[in-house]
Structure 1
Amino acid sequence: MADAYTGDRIILKDLGFYGYHGVFAEEEKLGQRFFIDLELGTDLAAAAASDRLGDSISYADIYDVVKAAFETRRMKLLEAVAGNIVNDLFAAFPGVSWITIRLRKPEAPIAMVRGEAAIELHRQRKPA
């Protein structure tokens, strides 16, 4: 069987959001920056041949789903935030077969001079 995360993909990187996700009271009160990288596996052959947006998935539509999922539910864990985004993307775009999401938190409340905390999820669409 081929690797599930191969083939055509739509990629969005460094999507920046300000949010109030976190375990600590200061995170929920003050908020902080978050960055999201996404890869969505979908067949892009029709769009490549037709040059029509209707044969693909609009980056703007993907962004709108990510923004709504990120902003409407406050979560304690990055894993839960990313899981919500993945679920909403699968619901919105039936042609997406797999998603890789990396959620980065550069101002995590740990004593680091440089760097960021992050999680990455790899999810395949569950069979109907």
Structure 2
Amino acid sequence: MEFYGYHGVLEQEKKVGQPFIICVEMYLDLAPAGMADDLSQTVNYAEAYQEIKKIVQEQRFDLIEALAHAIAILVLSRYDIGKVRVIVDKPLAPLPGGSLAARVEIEREKKDACKLGLLKPGQ
């Protein structure tokens, strides 16, 4: 997924913005949905896309680590999945004299997020 957002430590990043590429892998049992051919037994990807888009475009973070974490917690809280992996690419991260591609990759498990108080049990 590619979105335009305003994340970064530098004032220029917060004012001008830049593209962000987001990859989200959700880990869940797909057998029920596959056998029943029923959307209600899996994740509605169009809905997930819209939720992730809101975070990237409407919220602001200094660090792409914080952006990735917010996406992970949203996905874990919203959908019946046990684990999520989020990759955030910032292809035009500004540096003195140019730019470079920056990437963070995180994994979060629902059980660990509950233990840390990031999610309520049963969410």
Please give the per-residue CA displacement for 1:50-101, whole angstroms capped at 9, x wherever unaligned. 11111111110110111122223211000001111111111111x1100001
Q: Which structure: greater helix fraction?
A: 2
Q: Does 1:77 align with 2:63?
A: yes
- The CA RMSD measured in Å over matched residues stands at 1.4
2:59 is matched by which residue type in structure 1?
R
Deviation at residue 112 of structure 1 after TM alignment: 5.7
TM-score, scaled relative to structure 2: 0.85
Query: Which residue pairs with 1:46 in the alignment?
Result: 32
Distance 2:19 2:58 in 1: 16
Residue-pair matches, total: 112
2:78 to 92, 96, 99: 92
Identical-residue share of aligned pairs (%):
34
Query: Which residue pairs with 1:124 in the alignment?
Result: 109
Q: Which runs of 5+ in 2 are unaligned?
A: 115-120
TM-score, scaled relative to structure 1: 0.82
1:1-128 → structure 2 map (5 Å cutoff): 15-93=1-79, 95-110=80-95, 111=97, 116-126=101-111, 127=114, 128=121
Is contact 2:4-2:56 (8 Å) kept? Answer: no
